[in-house]
Amino acid sequence: MADTLVGSKTLLDIRDLKMHFPLTRGIVMQRVVGHVRAVDGITFSIERGQTLGLVGESGSGKTTIGRTIIRLYKPTAGQILFDNKDLATTEGEELRQMRRRVQMVFQDPYASLNPRFTIGSLIAEPMQVYRTGTPAEIRERVVELLQVVGLRPEYADRYPHEFSGGQRQRIAVARALSINPEFVVADEPVSALDVSVRAQVLNLLQRLQRQFHLTYLFVSHDLSVVRHVADRIAVMYLGKIMELADRDELYAAPKHPYTKALLSAVPIPDPKVEKKRQRIILSGDLPSPINIPSGCRFHTRCPMAQQICREIEPAFEAKEGREHYAACHFAEQVTPPVVKE
């Protein structure tokens, strides 16, 4: 199936990626007693200039995917083909140079900026590491980046504690762009911000994407946010992608009951429609990634589950529609969220 997702314009191609964290016991003689299967075999691709939205509950493995792609974690198995170069096996100086093309905007703008550094130093640090210019050129680039993200040049001499959450996230974006990356992982970049400034940061990310021809992996738990920024959406559950489709098609005709449940919880800004809509409440909690259920990992909470779901894991395969993929035995029986008459 991986080959069907890859086109001539593909920048990032993930093939059967796994990231398992060992569980150890003992202080001196540590032994592995199990694994946390945070990412358990996923496949997707992103074309140049596009945004893939990655959504799911907390603990589904979304952030782990982003950190594995930029090689903060070394994957357990699988391929991370970035411009046809496998980052999963790249090491040393070659990996260091590849990281110039791949950057990340972290979730918490209050924790991702070193409070001992000035804003100018934070933005300049990647350029200094990669020696992209003289001190004067780097200083000029810092001023330019502050203006690009809508901040004043004089802010370069201030410290992070002097700024609001929205301003800090703009600073984090400026730092990520400082060495002209091609691909950016945005890990829930607006979840820690007030609702009033979320739209500003989202609009900034979209403007910068057009201006610098960026490609995004946009990680979020909020389907209503992803709908405004993503070209395609992948829905994750317990380390696996349950559904992958074009944004509009996913909202109009979901093929997985988990996606349908998530969509039923997205608020609709029309009181009459919202009042008539039927909510789908999933029972139970997300299972542990240490002890994943047999068969379909969603069957313990799925309202459509049958015996085959408990015994056989469904294949992640193409369904009806343009490049619409789902992992469900009864995908064709899933209907859009119901609005009661």
- Pick 321 or 232 by higher pLDDT: 232
Average pLDDT over residues 188-213: 89
Residue 236 pLDDT level (bands cut at 50, 70, 90): very high
Burial per residue of 309-332, b for 16 or more beta-carbon CB atoms within 10 angstroms, e otherwise:
beeebbebeebeeeebbbbbbbbe
Average pLDDT over residues 238-258: 93
Structure tokens at 292: 């994943």
Distances (CA, A) of 203 to 48, 81, 237: 19, 29, 28
Measured CA to CA, the distance from residue 172 to residue 223 in angstroms comes to 23
Residue 269 pLDDT level (bands cut at 50, 70, 90): confident
User: Is the pLDDT reported for residue 329 higher than 80?
Assistant: yes
User: Is the pLDDT reported for residue 195 higher than 70?
Assistant: yes
User: Is the pLDDT reported for residue 15 higher than 90?
Assistant: yes
Residue 278 pLDDT level (bands cut at 50, 70, 90): confident
For residue 163, how far is the Cα from the chain centroid? 26
User: Is the pLDDT reported for residue 31 higher than 70?
Assistant: yes
User: Is the pLDDT reported for residue 1 higher than 80?
Assistant: no
pLDDT at 32: 85
Closest CA to 20 of 54, 72, 67, 64: 64
- How is residue 332 annotated by DSSP? G
User: Is the pLDDT reported for residue 3 higher than 90?
Assistant: no
pTM confidence score: 0.89
Structure tokens at 278: 């039927």
pLDDT at 273: 67
Distances (CA, A) of 265 to 60, 251, 274: 18, 12, 10
pLDDT at 322: 65
Instruction: Please give the backbone phi and psi of residue 294, each rounded to the nearest 5 degrees, phi first.
Output: -70, 165
pLDDT digits (tens, 9 = 90+) for 48-75: 999 999 999 888 999 999 999 999 999 9
Instruction: Look at 53-62, 82-91, 245-254, 312-321 and tell me which has the smallest mean pLDDT.
Output: 312-321
Average pLDDT over residues 131-147: 94
pLDDT digits (tens, 9 = 90+) for 297-311: 999 999 889 999 999
- Pick 142 or 341 by higher pLDDT: 142
Question: What mean pLDDT value characterizes the chain?
Answer: 89
- Pick 341 or 155 by higher pLDDT: 155
User: Is the pLDDT reported for residue 339 higher than 50?
Assistant: no
Average pLDDT over residues 122-135: 93
User: Is the pLDDT reported for residue 2 higher than 60?
Assistant: no
Instruction: Check: CB of residue 255 under 8 Å from CB of residue 78.
Output: no
pLDDT digits (tens, 9 = 90+) for 141-193: 999 999 999 999 999 999 999 999 899 999 999 999 999 999 999 999 988 78
Residue 336 pLDDT level (bands cut at 50, 70, 90): low
pLDDT at 4: 41
Measured CA to CA, the distance from residue 211 to residue 197 in angstroms comes to 21
Distances (CA, A) of 218 to 147, 162, 187, 318: 23, 27, 6, 23
Torsion of the alpha carbons at 57, 63, 66 and 72, rounded to the nearest 10: -160
